Every structure is written in C-alpha cells, then in structure tokens.
C-alpha cells in the first residue's frame, strides 16, 4: 500500500560532489545552513552589502503577514548594479552578453558596451516622456535589445512587462491592457527554425486590439518590410543615433517595483506578478552566485527565453549583477540541426549550463549521437528547472551531457518566488536524481497536510514556505485580494502556498511532484503523475510520457497515459499491455494506467510545460477549453480523435 508514495523515495542512486569540484567551490561549509537559519535577516543583508546602494537600508525586513517589505529605507538602481558596478573593475572589458542569432550572426557586448547601449536607450525612453512608475511592454525575441531594454527601463525606474515573443497578439493585447502600458517595444521580424516570424505585424494587431499604446519602438532585426504608422512607430536605430551614452540612474526605493511578469496562464485571467527592486536583486544575486558556483572566468548559459521568469532572473539580473558572462541565443535547439546547443557549448566553451527537463527528454529522444559530435568537456555544472525531472532523464543528463563529472542542480522555484528556493549547493549537497534536495540557506520549506500539519518524513502533502524571502512577489498587479487569496490563505497568513505537491524523506530532501492538480488519488492512494511517467520512460520504446488522473466512478481517479514512442517503435495493443505491466511492476498495480494512448506529440504551453488540464479534458470526454496558449494547438484535436477512435 505504501508503495506508490515510496516509489520515488526508493530512488537509491546518490551522487556526491566530485572532489575536484569541491576543491574550487565558492561554498563548501555545510554550516552555512545553520548560520542562515539562525539569523536569516543577517544572512540576506550580507549579500545585500555586496551590492551598490545610494543609501543603505535602515531595517532588513518588515513582516506584516502576508505583506513583506525588505531593505526598508534603502535606495538603489538595478541597472547600476548590473552594469555600472563593474565598470571600475577589471570586468569593464569582459563580455557581459555573448549572443548568437539563428542564421549564425553573433554579437558580443562587453560591460562597457552594454553600459553605453543601456544609457542611450534610457535617454531615448526619457525623451519619449517615459517617467518613473510608467509601465513599458516589451515584445521582443531573444536579441540583445531585449536585455538592453529591460535594463534601460530599470535605469529610469519604469517597470517593464516582458511578454514572451512567441505569445499571440491576443495574449499580448490583454497584457498591455492589464498593465496600462503606453509604450511597446518590438522588432520587424526574427528567425525560428528557418522561418521568418513577422513580429511587427503581430505587435500591430495587439496594439490595435488593446488601445492605449502611444509609441511603438521597432528594432530592425530581420530586415523584412514593415509598415510604420506615422506618429506612432519609431525605429530603434534612428532614436539611438542621437542619444547620449550617459543617463543618470533613478534612485529607486528598495520597495519600488522593478518589473511585472504575467504567469503562463493555464486557467483564468493572467496574473501580473509584481517584483520590487531591492529584495528581488538581492535574491537573484545571492542564488546565482551560490547555486551556480560562479567563478570570474566562467561562461554561463541558461537556455531559457528571457520572456519567462527563468530568463529574467538567471539570464539577465542574476548573472549581470554578479559580473558574469551570460550567453543568449535566438532560434531553437533543433535548427539547423539537433546539435545546435552542443555546438554552442563547444564554440563558447560554456562552463555552466541550465535548461529544462522537457528539453532533456527531447535530447534523449533524439539520441546520443548529437551531443557526441561535440566537445562538451568545458562543462562543469548543470542545472534543471521548470518541472520535476524524472530520475532517468537526470541520470542521462549527468552521463551524456555532463560526462559523469558535473554536479546537477535541480532548482525548484516559481515566477512568484522570483529566485531559486529549493536546490542543491553544488559543492556541498549529495544529490539524488529526481529530488531538488534542500531549501536554499535562509529559506524554510515544509510538506504540510490539509490542516497545515507537517507530515512525517516519508510522507506526501502540500509544499509550503514558512518564512518570507527577499525576492518574493509583493502583490498581483491591480488585485491585492487575489494575492492574499491565492498564496496566503490555504492555512494561515504567514504560510505561502505554492500549489505544488511534494514529499520529503528521512534526510530532509524534498521531492516536488508538480502542481497539486497533477497528483491524483486512485482508490484512496496518492499517486503522482510524475512517478508513473518515470516508470513509463524507463521502457526502451518510450521517449516521453504524460500521465493524468481521469475521473472514474469507482476508484475516484485512474491514471491515463499519453505516450510518445522513440523512432523505430510503433504503437500496438501488445505494447500497450507491456507498458501497463511495466508501471504495475515499478510502482504498484494501483498505478497501472487504465489506458495508454500513443501520440506523436503532446500539447505544450509556450514555456514547454505539458498542459495536463487539456489531457484530462480529453480523457474525460469534456469540451476542450481555451487552447490558444498552446505552442501546438492542433495537437489537442488530434489527440481527442485518437482517444475516442481507440476507446
């Protein structure tokens, strides 16, 4: 009976930080956990003290649950900390951003060059009347003008709202409206998988739909013809021509808003998560430094899109506040071939690489021949973020990409937390594939039951955060009640509810299972979709699997599996039986899927998360809801047909 809960905890493989890694690691003393726990305000203020402030804070924290204010009375500017701070040091001529476009064009910006661009664009924004507090919407692909725009906004105190460049005009319009932006920054077009994406046309459609946009600034990226609306549309390069390279930074209060970020709406109206200047910057500065064990000479690459929180925190603000060299790329991992990323790792001698489990499973499916074409020996640390990583993918990542020598940091956090919250420290933590291990020092997490009581080790329940942290969201834009109701009302006003299910084990390690709605209850037994998925992908024919709990009249819910096979394998009733048997063997007969549906693709959000809600609707024969936020909306209908024809 205990088997379903135990299946993941049965994962016995252990990986100690290699000696060579520990010898050079920034953080090696396990006592940091105790120290930070005893005096967490002191812990965070020591990191804050490493940043530049116009005025030092009077108090570290004011906590009126659920409202926190950090570094009260402190004044600073995020762009000063990401750029100016490094100019008086030997980092002045160090590469801040190494960028590679899809057609192979490249651009390297040193800190000095980045400073000039940011200052000039800050002057451009000011000349258009943008003032402290005005929201600016940015709708750009992965080109250097994206971080330049963000930092220029930060310089003049105008909160940015970056909308993922692949979002539809409708999604962009609703975000422009909600934020009340008057300025939109976009580009003519960009490249993705050999195709030219007409970004300006999409931006025009959104601007028209939403109203309120007074100026559209257009970066020339692809050179495609675009109509420019007189009086409204302005070319980036023309505005920049006359702009001076020095712009005084706005002195921001620590609690002034730095940016807002809409969460990848799975249901309901998008939520504008608000992050502030001081706490956010301290949080991402500290976690980048410790989790990624940054060294001065490192080349660091997070392959996310800056349009997501991962890119904000760990391509832009975290690495640049640390004076690191951060890599960014335009395009897709499979274009011009399935070795694009490995080619870049080799070309730039990347040392630290951070990506998502969905990408790793994709690499596994493509096969080892792609990474094998390249010299990946520069890598010394790997990271994972975005969803639970199944142990098989973890072990593959470790062996094939990391050459067996690189520690893996599986980092749990959210748009709302702003910074990494549960993670190994690579020079200290012994890792277990599939576990994000322990809370970052100073962070307190727990697994609670329905009533807010901690579950005993080995048990499962709801993940909870028991203490405020500097990069925490402060509110939902324009809807503070929703902030309180969504995050601070499950148990009490002092306990943050992330909406994830988790287990913890005898060593105090956390195993995040995914959103609570991904955890099902089959005949009274708690089962995780991820556990069943892990079992399925252990089968040699399976490339990727998504499991949901479908309503069942007797058992409450039953697992239904959607499976992508590796090339060279075909779906058959015999294989379906085999896979069901496999799950029954690995976990328990309780976990045995009711149905296994073979499919060439799975419905994914733009950020690469499998949209399980939709799979559930398909399995339960429900009306399919909104599919517009999917990267591949056509898959939904195909799957529904496959499901019903086979039933």
Known binding positions for ATP: 386-388, 410-415, 500, 515, 526
Q: Does 361 bind ligand 6R9 (CB under 6 A)?
A: no
Q: Does 531 bind ligand 6R9 (CB under 6 A)?
A: no
Nearer to ligand 6R9 by Cβ, of 444 and 555: the residue is 444
Q: Does 390 bind ligand 6R9 (CB under 6 A)?
A: no
Closest separation in Å from C-beta 501 to ligand 6R9: 9
DSSP letter at 624 equals: P
Nearer to ligand 6R9 by Cβ, of 203 and 304: the residue is 304
Closest separation in Å from C-beta 259 to ligand 6R9: 14
- Measured from each CB, the residue nearest to ligand 6R9 is 415
User: Binding-site residues for CoA, please?
Assistant: 192-195, 310
Q: Which of residues 479-498 bind ligand 6R9 (CB under 6 A)?
A: 498
Closest separation in Å from C-beta 118 to ligand 6R9: 25
228 by DSSP, 3-state: which? coil
Nearer to ligand 6R9 by Cβ, of 123 and 310: the residue is 310
Q: By the 8 A CB rule, do 49 and 447 touch?
A: no
Backbone angles phi, psi at 72, to 5 degrees: -65, 130
DSSP letter at 389 equals: P
Q: Does 387 bind ligand 6R9 (CB under 6 A)?
A: yes
Burial 257-290 (b: 16+ CB within 10 A, else e): bbbbbbbbbbeeebbbbbbbbbbbbbbbbbbbbb
Nearer to ligand 6R9 by Cβ, of 102 and 387: the residue is 387
Q: By the 8 A CB rule, do 515 and 501 touch?
A: yes
Q: Does 326 bind ligand 6R9 (CB under 6 A)?
A: no
DSSP letter at 271 equals: P
Whose CA is closest to 499, among 531, 448, 463?
463
Extract the runs of DSSP E, i.e. beta strands, from 65-204: 67-72, 75-76, 95-100, 106-110, 136-138, 160-162, 183-187, 190-192, 195-197
Number of residues interacting with ligand 6R9: please give it, by CB under 6 A.
22
Q: Does 310 bind ligand 6R9 (CB under 6 A)?
A: yes
DSSP string, 186-207: EES-EEETTEEE-HHHHHHHHH
Q: Which of residues 411-470 bind ligand 6R9 (CB under 6 A)?
A: 411-415, 436
Q: Does 500 bind ligand 6R9 (CB under 6 A)?
A: yes
Candidates 177-185, 381-389, 444-452, 633-641; binding stretch for ligand 6R9 (CB under 6 A): 381-389
Closest separation in Å from C-beta 576 to ligand 6R9: 28
Nearer to ligand 6R9 by Cβ, of 286 and 436: the residue is 436
Token pair, residue 123, equals 């002057």
Q: Does 388 bind ligand 6R9 (CB under 6 A)?
A: yes
Whole-angstrom distance, CA of residue 434 vs CA of residue 171 = 34
CB atoms within 10 A of CB 628: 11
Instruction: Report long-range pairs for 336-345 (Cβ below 8 Å, ≥24 apart).
Output: 336/194, 337/370, 338/366, 338/370, 339/370, 339/371, 339/373, 339/374, 341/303, 342/370, 342/371, 342/373, 342/374, 342/376, 343/373, 343/374, 344/100, 344/301, 345/301, 345/374, 345/376, 345/378, 345/379
Contact residue for ligand 6R9 among 184, 219, 239, 385 (CB under 6 A): 385
Closest separation in Å from C-beta 393 to ligand 6R9: 12
Site string for ligand 6R9, 596-625 (x = CB under 6 A): -----------x------------------
Backbone angles phi, psi at 46, to 5 degrees: -65, -40
Whose CA is closest to 467, among 45, 30, 37?
37
Closest separation in Å from C-beta 301 to ligand 6R9: 17
Nearer to ligand 6R9 by Cβ, of 202 and 312: the residue is 312
Contact residue for ligand 6R9 among 144, 386, 427, 441 (CB under 6 A): 386
Q: Does 410 bind ligand 6R9 (CB under 6 A)?
A: yes
User: For binding to ligand 6R9 (CB under 6 A), which residues are involved?
Assistant: 263-264, 309-310, 385-388, 410-415, 436, 498-500, 512, 514-515, 607
């Amino acid at each position: 009976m205990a088997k379903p809960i135990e299946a993941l905890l049965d994962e016995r493989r252990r990986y100690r930080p290699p000696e060579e890694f520990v010898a050079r690691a920034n953080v090696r003393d396990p006592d940091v956990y105790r120290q930070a726990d005893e005096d967490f305000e002191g812990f965070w203020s020591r990191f804050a003290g490493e940043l530049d402030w116009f005025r030092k804070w009077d108090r570290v924290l004011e906590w009126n649950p659920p409202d926190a204010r950090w570094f009260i009375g402190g004044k600073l500017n995020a762009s000063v900390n990401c750029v100016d701070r490094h100019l008086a040091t030997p980092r002045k001529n160090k590469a801040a951003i190494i960028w590679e476009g899809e057609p192979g064009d490249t651009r390297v910006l040193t800190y000095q060059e980045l400073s000039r661009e940011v200052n000039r664009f800050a002057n451009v924004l000011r000349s258009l009347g943008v003032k402290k507090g005005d929201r600016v919407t940015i709708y750009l692909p992965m080109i250097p003008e994206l971080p330049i725009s963000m930092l220029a906004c930060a310089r003049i105190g105008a909160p940015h709202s970056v909308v993922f460049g692949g979002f539809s005009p409708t999604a962009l319009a609703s975000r422009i409206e909600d934020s009340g932006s008057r300025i939109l920054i976009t580009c003519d077009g960009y490249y993705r998988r050999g195709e030219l994406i007409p970004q300006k046309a999409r931006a025009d459609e959104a601007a028209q739909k939403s109203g309120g946009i007074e100026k559209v600034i257009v970066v020339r990226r692809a050179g495609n013809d675009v109509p420019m609306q007189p009086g409204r549309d302005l070319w980036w390069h023309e505005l920049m021509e006359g702009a001076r390279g020095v712009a005084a930074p706005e002195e921001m209060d620590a609690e002034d808003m730095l940016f807002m970020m809409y969460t990848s709406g799975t249901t309901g109206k998008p939520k504008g998560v608000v992050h502030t200047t001081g706490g956010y910057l301290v949080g991402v500065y500290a976690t980048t430094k410790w989790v990624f064990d940054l060294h001065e000479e490192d080349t660091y690459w997070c392959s996310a899109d800056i349009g997501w929180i991962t890119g904000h925190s760990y391509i832009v603000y975290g690495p640049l506040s640390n004076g690191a060299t951060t890599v960014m790329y335009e395009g897709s991992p499979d274009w011009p071939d399935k070795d694009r990323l490995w080619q870049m790792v080799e070309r730039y001698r990347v040392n630290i690489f951070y990506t998502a489990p969905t990408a790793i499973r994709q690499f596994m499916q493509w096969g080892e021949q792609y990474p094998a074409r390249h010299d990946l020996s520069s890598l010394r640390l790997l990271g994972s973020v975005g969803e639970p990583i199944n142990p098989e993918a973890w072990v593959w990542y470790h062996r094939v990409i990391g050459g067996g020598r690189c520690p893996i940091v599986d980092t749990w956090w959210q748009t709302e937390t702003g910074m990494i919250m549960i993670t190994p420290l690579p020079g200290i933590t012994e890792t277990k594939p599939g576990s994000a291990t322990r809370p970052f020092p100073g962070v307190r997490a727990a697994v609670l039951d329905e009533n807010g009581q901690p579950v005993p080790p080995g048990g499962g329940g709801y993940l909870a955060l028991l203490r405020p942290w500097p990069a925490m969201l402060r509110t939902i834009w324009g809807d503070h009640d929703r902030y309180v109701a969504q995050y601070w009302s499950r148990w009490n006003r002092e306990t943050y509810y992330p909406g994830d299910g988790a287990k913890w084990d005898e060593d105090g390690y956390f195993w995040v299972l995914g959103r609570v709605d991904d955890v099902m209850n089959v005949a009274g037994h708690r089962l995780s979709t991820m556990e069943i998925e892990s079992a399925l992908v252990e089968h040699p024919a399976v490339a990727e699997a998504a499991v949901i709990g479908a309503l069942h009249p007797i058992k409450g819910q039953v697992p239904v599996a959607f499976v992508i096979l590796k090339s060279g394998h075909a779906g058959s009733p015999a294989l379906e039986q085999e896979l069901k048997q496999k799950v029954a063997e690995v976990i328990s007969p309780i976990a045995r899927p009711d149905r296994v549906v073979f499919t060439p693709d799975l419905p994914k959000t733009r950020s690469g998360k499998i949209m399980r809600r939709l799979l559930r609707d398909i399995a339960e024969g429900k009306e399919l809801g909104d599919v517009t936020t999917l990267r591949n909306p056509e898959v939904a209908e195909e799957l529904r047909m496959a499901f019903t024809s086979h039933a």
